[in-house]
């Protein structure tokens, strides 16, 4: 048997050229899952049998000379807040435990159409609310690089799956950093596309105006490949941008000569010294590769956390109201429907979800709307305008992804505000609706990986991937 | 534009309630739009199907489902806006958050402070102009059935069953200004609105089937003072019930106020069998729908071209039809014949009868009297009816004979009026023959004639009766009367 | 922080929990109140901002008039959906008696 390539593009090429079979690839990844999943707990569900059957079908297609998709045979892990027809989708919540959706998310059907093989549904902070995956109702995911530490969150399972070699690529969702932050903490690449570039149809909503689906990968090129596969207009999502998927893989190797890279001089403080050191090295590397570093200011950035933690919970309080024990999911029986609601939702949601639902309900309630939600929407505009001014001067902006490296379990779980501060650098892009990616760039405290974040203006995925590619090249030399 | 109660429309003296009270009514009318599919998804908008068959992820509020706005629902909502003289404006959707088992997402997608249609009005057939504050798009709920318990009603039931076929059906909520001062006007408003909705194809507007639902906000006050506390009356399932419910509720409120009590702001349920309203629930400050802009939808801003196209393609509305029919027949726009024929949509038929050479007045009256159940396009060919009107106009048939022939035409879906008349022996009587009969009758009853000559009009009945008997009903009563009048000089 | 400058109270939390249909016992109301008050304490930073003349931003990407044609799409399978429900009867979703709810 030939060696199994470690990248999605390598696997697709090897299968298409009949150097290996899809079945060999999937068996190899399933073997790795068998070996380490007990330690990592990246998955809520491993769909081994379906994955093997899918691989066999692809091999049969190849043998028969039938056309295959561009990702034929590529194993992929799917965050468990993306609907998969007939396959349990839980959002890592007791309230949805056992629920089998009667339909597929658009991204799931696009990946299947492209020939990718789902290996399982990955763990997350319940309803994507959290930064460590400790808020999963089914137990935390452990960081494959140090199992005493969190993988970040909320897409901790998808990040860990790629970092542990359970799949070459995976899908996550990013509302305030839920792809980029765990990517940084697990030492993999993570991309949050422009709001509207990737369909949200079938993504169990956390905060509708902020949520976006994106990939994890071991390489920037693979991240671009998967972004291409899932992007493009979807008529089922009213907020989907009516444009075809952009070509992005080619950008990765274009280099950064002549590009203007923004350095935020008023970046909110709080990052670990090693993180700042890696950021500075990243600037130096890009400069050495021919880019110009331009100092910019984003004066409203420090207010992003407040705006986010009012807007996201407000939308969440409404989005999660549908989990009422009537049509699907958990029901705790009671004498009347109203009592059933209260009992079901109390038993079905974890504390962090409850906190955000209450916070959001409060922010929207009579007499408080203007002071909280209304004000937060205005701050959101200020932040977007800050970025608009900055992008008049630069092509992309570089910041740390997370202020801290992966931390030990329990470190912040009882202090919501400390946990929220993990998202301080990732949140602003979600508010603006812009794309951003995290690229591994050396290590920080305790030898844990550091991620550098590349931010770009709306639909600026191409320049973002150019810089991502350059950072990846330079990272070999980083500490 | 908010209503200033001190400068509002004042009821006329005959519209005032006894004791100097003035009735203030505003109506909220929900109509289901006649689309093929739901407001935000592609499952059928169809009444009466097997439960939970017209369902999709959006309708059921499944996790991950997203709404996409139905273009035809917008088109029909705009037709309503244009027909009600509203301004059509760029608008957005909001979420109205509340828990109820027939509301799948626990929020209703509706329009809040920036609706599609604003600031319109509707002119009642009687001439009164009622303001329309807004007409906005929103989605319908599913349907609950309450099982067990003594009454089958919600209170005391053992459990409830939910069918989501209706969930997501497009609705337009038409909110009138509190410009209505009598229950008659309220009924007229709903009847006229229903006629408009049918004519423009926006809704079948059947109150009995629930595709048109009317809630009435009712209060009473003394003119010159602030409006009284209002109660919202629900479960009004016919136009007649609306009038009764408003009259009952006004009486109830006046009795409470006259005996020194105060009105609570509450929702009341109309019980048509009992003929009274009773408290459904008291409005509380705790009503907190937490409206916020729906992030899953983008703004709706119909282009000027689209609005103009809707305007250009709007069929003639009932008011214009009444005006046209009035011009055609000489009958007043507010006459019952004109109102009824337009309400039935038979005005074009009347026009067709006239176009076929018929007599306009007789065509209107025949259609009003003979075609109550015939629908907008009666089976009787317009030309056939036209011939009958001419026979009567030219005195070839008496009114009584014509009525008999009309019944034959209706029964057989048409026919040759002259042939029918001949078959029935309805020969044309020439006027000289009638004159001879009148003279014979006068000779036979000189007493009656004397009285008639002295100005007793009632005495003519005896003479006319004799002529009718002698002519076996073939003489035209009007002609007989005319001859008698000429004899009197 | 609140518009009046007073922190969120236990009564506020209890009311909000009722609105959100979350049964929470008294001890937890106190616990959540402490946590939420701490979080919301950080939110007072935006009070210093001058937001006059700033419009609210509700959509990250400016789209308008996204409409679909009025064409029927396939429906879900009633059995599949009802089988996933906590309780159903006569091809409908079954719930306990509806009392204590708004109309």
The Cα A229–Cα A78 span in angstroms is: 14
Write out chain A residues lying below 8 Å of C51, CB-based: 375, 378-379, 382
Determine the Cα–Cα distance for residues B100 and B106; give it in Å rounded to an integer. Answer: 7
Residue A365 to residue B290, Cβ atoms within 8 A: yes
How far is residue A82's CA from residue A211's CA, in Å, rounded to a whole number?
12
Contacts of A373 in chain B (CB under 8 A): 292
Q: What's the CA gap between A166 and A33, in Å, rounded?
A: 5
- Residue at C14 is within a domain: yes
pLDDT number for residue A479: 44
CA gap B270, B263 in Å, rounded? 17
Subunit contact A336:C60, Cβ cutoff 8 A: no
Q: Which of A163, A251, A75, A229 is nearest to A449 (CA)?
A: A163
Place C1 in a pLDDT band, splitting at 50, 70 and 90: very low
Tokens representing A187 are 């030492």
Q: What is the mean pLDDT of residues C74-92?
A: 97
- What is the share, in percent, of chain B residues with pLDDT greater than 90? 67
3-class secondary structure, A118: strand
- Domain membership of residue A193 (yes or no) is yes
Contacts of C75 in chain B (CB under 8 A): 43-44, 53-56
Set of chain B residues whose Cβ sits within 8 Å of the Cβ of C94: 159-162
Domain residue spans of chain B: 5-310, 316-423, 431-488
Q: Do B63 and A235 touch (CB under 8 A)?
A: no
Comparing alpha-carbon positions, the chain A residue that sits nearest to B155 is A336
Cβ(C1)–Cβ(C44) under 8 Å? Answer: yes
Q: Tell me: the pLDDT tens digits for A308-321?
A: 999 999 999 999 99
pLDDT category at B475 given cuts 50, 70, 90 is confident
Mutation test of the interface with chain A: which of B39, B40, B41, B64, choosing the one with the most A Cβ atoms within 10 A?
Answer: B64
> Is residue C60 domain-resident?
no
pLDDT tier at B454 (50, 70, 90 boundaries)? confident
Long-range contacts of B417-425, Cβ-Cβ distance < 8 Å, separation of 24 or more: B417/B384, B417/B385, B417/B387, B417/B388, B417/B391, B418/B387, B418/B391, B421/B391, B421/B396, B421/B397
pLDDT for C103 equals: 39
Q: Which of C15, A328, C20, A95 is nearest to B98 (CA)?
A: C20
How much is the pLDDT for C2?
Answer: 45
Instruction: Using an 8 Å CB-CB cutoff, list chain C residues near B71.
Output: 67-70
Q: Quick one: B178 exposed, middle or buried, by C-beta within 10 A (0-12, 13-18, 19+)?
A: buried
CB contact under 8 A, A237 and B66: yes
Q: How far is B155 from chain C (nearest CA, A)?
A: 7
Q: Do B159 and C19 touch (CB under 8 A)?
A: no
Residue C34 lies in a domain: yes
Among candidates A326, A330, A416 on the partner chain, residue whose Cβ is nearest the Cβ of C39 = A416
Are C55 and A378 an interchain contact pair (Cβ–Cβ within 8 Å)?
Answer: yes
Q: Which residues of C touch B69 (CB under 8 A)?
A: 66-68
Q: How far is CA B230 from CA B23, B109, B241, B263, in A?
A: 11, 26, 19, 8
| Cα-based distances in Å from B119 to A41, B174, B181 | 60, 11, 19
**Residue C49 phi/psi, 5° resolution?**
-75, 140
For residue A127, the distance in angstroms to the closest alpha carbon of chain C comes to 16
Which residue, among A385, A397, A316, has the nearest Cα to A355 in the 3D structure?
A316
Q: Tell me, what DSSP letter sits at residue A360?
A: H
Residue in A79, A94, A121, A412 annotated catalytic: A79
pLDDT in tens, B104-161: 999 999 999 999 999 999 999 888 999 999 999 999 999 999 988 765 566 678 999 9
Contact B63 A205 (CB under 8 A): yes
* Chain C touching partners, 3 or more CB pairs below 8 A: A, B
Mean pLDDT value across residues B89-109: 97
CA distance B28 to B135: 9
Q: Which pLDDT value is given to residue B466?
A: 87
Cα torsion A443, A447, A449, A450: sign: negative
Q: What's the CA gap between A182 and A137, in Å, rounded?
A: 18
**pLDDT for B3:** 45
Q: What whole-number distance in Å separates Cα of residue A355 and Cα of residue A346?
A: 12
* B395 pLDDT tier (thresholds 50, 70, 90): confident
Residue C28 is assigned to a structural domain of this protein:
yes
The chains found to touch B (3+ Cβ pairs under 8 angstroms) are: A, C
> Which partners does chain A have (≥3 C-beta pairs < 8 Å)?
B, C
Domain range enclosing C22: 1-47
Q: What is the mean pLDDT of residues B253-259?
A: 95
Q: Which parts of chain C are beta strand (E)?
A: 67-68, 88-89, 92-95
**Cβ distance of B99 and A91 shorter than 8 Å:** no
Gap from C29 CA to chain A (nearest CA, Å): 11
Work out the minimum CA distance from B292 to partner chain C, whole angstroms: 10
Q: What is the pLDDT of residue B428?
A: 61
Cβ-defined contact of C3 to A377 (cutoff 8 Å): no
* Structural domain contains residue A204: yes
Q: Bigger pLDDT: B316 or B8?
A: B316
Residues in chain B closer than 8 A to A328 (CB atoms): 62-63
Give the residue among A128, A34, A25, A130 at the shortest CA–CA distance from A418: A130
Q: Is A79 annotated in the active site?
A: yes
Q: What digits encode the pLDDT tens for the residues B146-155?
A: 988 765 566 6
| CATH classification of the domain holding A70 | 3.90.1300.10
Q: b/e per residue, B259-292, with b = 16+ CB within 10 A?
A: eeeebeebbbbbeeeeebbeebeeeeeeebbbbb
Distance from C-alpha of A283 to C-alpha of A286, rounded to nearest angstrom: 5
Shortest distance, CA B288 to any CA of chain C (angstroms): 8
Q: Tell me, yes or no, whether A377 lies in a domain.
A: no
Q: Kindly tell me if the per-residue pLDDT of B287 is higher than 80.
A: no
DSSP assignment of A278-339: HHHHHHHHHHHTT-EEEEE--TTGGGHHHHHHHHHHHHHHHHGGG-SSSSSS-----SSHHH
Is A200's CB within 8 Å of B66's CB?
A: yes
B106 touches A322 (CB < 8 A): yes
pLDDT at B319: 92
What residues of chain A lie within 8 A of the CB of B67, using their CB? 238
> Average pLDDT by consecutive 10-residue portion of chain A (479 residues)?
89 97 98 98 98 98 97 98 98 98 98 98 98 97 98 97 98 98 98 98 98 98 98 98 96 97 96 97 98 97 95 98 98 96 98 97 92 95 97 98 96 87 95 98 97 98 98 77
**ipTM (interface pTM):** 0.97
- Whether B271 and B280 have beta carbons less than 8 Å apart is answered as no
Q: Which residue range is the domain that position A186 belongs to?
A: 8-252
H-helix or E-strand containing B143?
strand B143-147
- Any catalytic annotation for residue A154? yes
Length reported for chain C: 103
Chain C (7-46) residues lying within 8 Å, Cβ to Cβ, of chain B = 19, 21
Question: How close is the nearest chain C Cα to the Cα of B141, in Å?
Answer: 12
**Confidence band (pLDDT; 50, 70, 90) for C81?**
very high
A269 touches chain C (CB under 8 A): no
Backbone angles phi, psi at B121, to 5 degrees: -160, 160
Cβ contact (<8 Å) for B62 and A328? yes
What are A117-175's pLDDT values in tens digits? 999 999 999 999 999 999 999 999 999 999 999 999 999 999 999 999 999 999 999 99
C1: distance to nearest CA of chain A, Å? Answer: 10
DSSP H stretches of helix in B225-299: 239-258
Domain assignment present for residue A211? The answer is: yes
In a domain, C93, yes or no: no
| Full-model pTM | 0.91
A161 part of a folded domain: yes
The predicted model gives C40-61 an average pLDDT of: 91
User: Would you state the CATH architecture of domain B431-488?
Assistant: Orthogonal Bundle (1.10)
Catalytic residue, from A109, A170, A178, A438: name it: A178
User: What does the pLDDT read at residue B51?
Assistant: 98
Peptide bond preceding B256: is omega within 30 degrees of 0, i.e. cis? no
Query: Which of C75, C93, C96 lies nearest to residue B56, judging by beta carbons?
Result: C75
In this prediction, residue B151 carries a pLDDT of 59
Query: Is A363 within the bounds of a domain?
Result: no
| Number of domains comprising chain A | 1
Residues of A in contact with C66 (CB under 8 A): 238-239
Chosen from A86, A109, A236 to mutate, greatest number of chain B CBs within 10 A:
A236
DSSP per residue, B212-225: EEEEEEEEEE-TTS
Distance CA A58, CA B53 (A): 35
* Closest B-chain CA to A336: B159
CA dist A365 → A208, A362, B288 (Å): 19, 5, 6
CA dihedral A376, A379, A385, A386 (to 10 degrees): -130
Q: Identify the bridge partners of residue A118 per DSSP, sorted by sequence position.
A: A76
Rounded to the nearest angstrom, the minimum Cα separation between B125 and chain A is: 42
> What are the backbone angles phi and psi of residue B464, rounded to the nearest 5°?
-60, -45
Mean pLDDT of all residues belonging to chain B? 91
For residue A219, being part of any structural domain is answered with yes
Confidence band for B298, pLDDT divided at 50, 70 and 90: very high
For B39, nearest residue in chain C (alpha carbons): C70
Burial class, A127, CB count within 10 angstroms (exposed 0-12 / middle 13-18 / buried 19+): buried
Residue A319 placed within a domain: no
Confidence of residue B2 (pLDDT cuts 50, 70, 90): very low
Q: Which residues of A touch C2 (CB under 8 A)?
A: 368, 371
pLDDT higher than threshold 80 for residue B184: yes
**Which tokens in the block code for residue B314?**
């709007």
A92 Rama class: left (phi>0) / alpha (psi -120 to 50) / beta: left
Could you say which of A132, A154, A170, A438 is catalytic? A154
Does residue C75 sit at the A interface (CB-CB below 8 Å)?
no
- Residue A100 sits at the chain C interface (C-beta within 8 Å): yes
CB contact under 8 A, B97 and A239: no
Mutate to test the interface with B, among C58, C75, C84 (most CBs of B within 10 A): C75
Instruction: Specify the number of domains making up chain C.
Output: 1
């Amino acid at each position: 048997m030939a060696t199994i390539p470690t990248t999605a593009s390598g696997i697709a090429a090897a299968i298409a050229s009949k150097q290996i079979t899809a079945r060999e690839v999937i068996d190899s990844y399933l073997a790795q899952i068998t070996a380490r999943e007990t330690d990592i707990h990246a998955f809520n569900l491993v769909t081994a049998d379906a994955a093997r059957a899918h691989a066999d079908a692809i091999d049969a297609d190849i043998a028969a000379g039938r056309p295959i998709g561009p990702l034929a045979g590529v194993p992929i892990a799917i965050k468990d807040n993306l609907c998969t027809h007939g396959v349990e989708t839980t959002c890592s919540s007791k309230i949805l435990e056992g629920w089998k959706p009667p339909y597929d998310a658009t991204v799931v059907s696009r990946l299947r159409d492209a020939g990718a093989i789902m290996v399982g549904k990955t763990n997350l902070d319940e309803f994507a609310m959290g930064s460590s995956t400790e808020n999963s109702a089914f137990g935390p995911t452990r960081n494959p690089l140090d199992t005493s530490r969190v993988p970040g969150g909320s897409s901790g399972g998808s990040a860990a799956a790629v970092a542990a070699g359970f799949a070459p690529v995976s899908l996550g969702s990013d509302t305030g950093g839920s792809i980029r932050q765990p990517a940084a903490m697990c030492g993999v690449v993570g991309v949050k596309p422009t709001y509207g570039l990737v369909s949200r149809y079938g993504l169990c909503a956390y905060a509708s105006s902020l949520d976006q689906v994106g990939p994890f990968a071991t390489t920037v090129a693979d991240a671009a490949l998967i972004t291409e596969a899932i992007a493009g207009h979807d008529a089922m999502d009213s907020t989907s941008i009516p444009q075809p998927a952009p070509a992005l893989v080619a950008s990765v190797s274009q280099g950064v000569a002549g590009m203007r890279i923004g350095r935020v001089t008023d970046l909110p403080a709080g990052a670990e010294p090693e993180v700042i050191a890696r950021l500075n090295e990243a600037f130096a590397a890009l400069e050495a590769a021919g880019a110009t570093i331009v100092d910019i200011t984003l004066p409203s950035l420090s207010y992003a956390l407040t705006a986010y933690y009012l807007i996201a919970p407000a939308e969440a309080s409404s989005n999660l109201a549908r989990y009422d024990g009537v049509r699907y999911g958990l029901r705790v029986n009671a004498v009347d429907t109203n009592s059933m609601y209260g009992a079901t939702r109390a038993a079905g949601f974890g504390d962090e979800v409850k906190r955000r639902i209450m916070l959001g309900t409060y922010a929207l309630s009579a007499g408080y709307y203007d002071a909280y939600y209304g004000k937060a929407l205005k701050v959101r505009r200020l932040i977007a305008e800050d970025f608009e001014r900055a992008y008049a001067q630069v092509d992309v902006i570089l910041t740390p992804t997370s202020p801290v490296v992966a931390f030990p379990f329990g470190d912040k779980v009882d202090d919501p505000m400390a946990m929220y501060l993990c998202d301080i650098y990732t949140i602003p892009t979600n508010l603006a609706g812009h794309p951003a990616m995290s690229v591994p760039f050396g290590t920080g405290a305790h030898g844990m990986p550091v991620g550098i974040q590349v931010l770009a203006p709306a639909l600026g995925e191409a320049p973002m991937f150019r810089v991502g590619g350059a950072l990846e090249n330079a990272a070999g030399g980083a500490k | 534009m908010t209503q200033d109660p001190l400068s509002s429309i004042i009821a006329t003296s005959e519209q005032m309630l006894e004791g100097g009270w003035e009735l203030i009514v505003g109506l909220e009318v929900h109509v289901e739009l006649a689309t093929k599919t739901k407001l935000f998804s592609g499952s059928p908008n169809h009444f009466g199907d097997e439960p939970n068959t017209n369902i999709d992820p959006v309708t059921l509020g499944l996790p991950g489902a997203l709404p996409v706005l139905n273009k035809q629902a917008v088109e029909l909502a705009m037709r309503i806006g244009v027909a009600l003289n509203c301004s059509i404006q760029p608008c957005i959707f909001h979420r109205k958050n509340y828990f109820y088992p027939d509301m799948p997402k626990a929020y209703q997608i509706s329009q809040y402070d920036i609706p599609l249609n604003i600031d319109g009005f509707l002119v009642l057939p009687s001439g009164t102009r009622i303001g329309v504050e807004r007409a906005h798009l929103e989605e319908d709920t599913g349907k609950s059935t309450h099982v067990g318990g003594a009454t089958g009603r919600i209170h005391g039931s053992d459990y409830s069953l939910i069918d989501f076929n209706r969930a997501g059906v497009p609705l337009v909520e038409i909110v009138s200004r509190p410009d209505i001062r009598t229950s008659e006007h309220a009924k007229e408003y709903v009847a006229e609105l229903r006629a408009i909705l049918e004519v423009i194809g926006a809704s079948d507007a059947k109150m009995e089937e629930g595709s048109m639902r009317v809630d009435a906000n009712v209060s009473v006050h003394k003119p010159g003072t602030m409006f009284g506390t209002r109660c919202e009356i629900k479960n009004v399932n016919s136009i007649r019930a609306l009038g009764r419910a408003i009259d009952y509720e006004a009486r109830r409120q006046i009795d409470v106020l006259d005996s020194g009590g105060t009105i609570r702001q509450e929702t009341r349920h109309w019980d048509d069998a009992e003929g009274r309203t009773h408290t459904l629930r008291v409005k509380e400050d705790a009503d907190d729908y937490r409206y916020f802009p729906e992030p899953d939808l983008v703004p709706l801003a119909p282009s000027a071209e689209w609005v103009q196209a809707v305007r250009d393609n709007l069929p003639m509305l009932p008011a214009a039809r009444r005006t046209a029919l009035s011009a055609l027949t000489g009958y007043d726009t507010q006459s019952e014949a004109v109102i009824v024929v337009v309400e039935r949509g038979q005005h074009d038929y009347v026009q067709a009868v006239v176009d076929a050479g018929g007599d306009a007045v007789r065509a209107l009256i025949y259609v009003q009297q003979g075609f109550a159940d015939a629908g907008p396009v009666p089976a009787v060919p317009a030309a056939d009816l036209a011939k009958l009107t001419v026979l009567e106009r030219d005195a070839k048939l008496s009114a009584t004979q014509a009525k008999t022939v009309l019944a034959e035409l209706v029964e057989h879906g048409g026919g040759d009026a002259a042939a029918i008349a001949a078959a029935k022996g309805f020969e044309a009587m020439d006027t000289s023959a009638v004159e001879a009969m009148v003279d014979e009758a006068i000779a036979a009853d000189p007493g009656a004639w004397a009285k008639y000559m002295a100005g007793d009009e009632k005495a003519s009945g005896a003479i006319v009766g004799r002529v009718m008997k002698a002519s076996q009903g073939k003489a035209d009563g009007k002609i007989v009367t005319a001859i008698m009048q000429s004899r009197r000089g | 922080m609140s518009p009046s400058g007073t922190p969120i109270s236990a009564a506020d939390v209890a009311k909000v929990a009722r609105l959100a249909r979350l049964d929470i016992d008294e001890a937890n109301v106190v616990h959540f109140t402490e946590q939420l008050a701490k979080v919301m304490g950080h939110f007072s930073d935006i009070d210093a901002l001058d937001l006059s003349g700033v419009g609210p931003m509700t959509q990250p990407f400016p789209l308008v008039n996204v409409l679909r044609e009025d064409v029927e799409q396939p429906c879900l399978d009633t059995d599949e959906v009802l089988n996933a429900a906590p309780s159903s009867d006569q091809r409908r979703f079954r719930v306990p008696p509806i009392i204590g709810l708004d109309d």
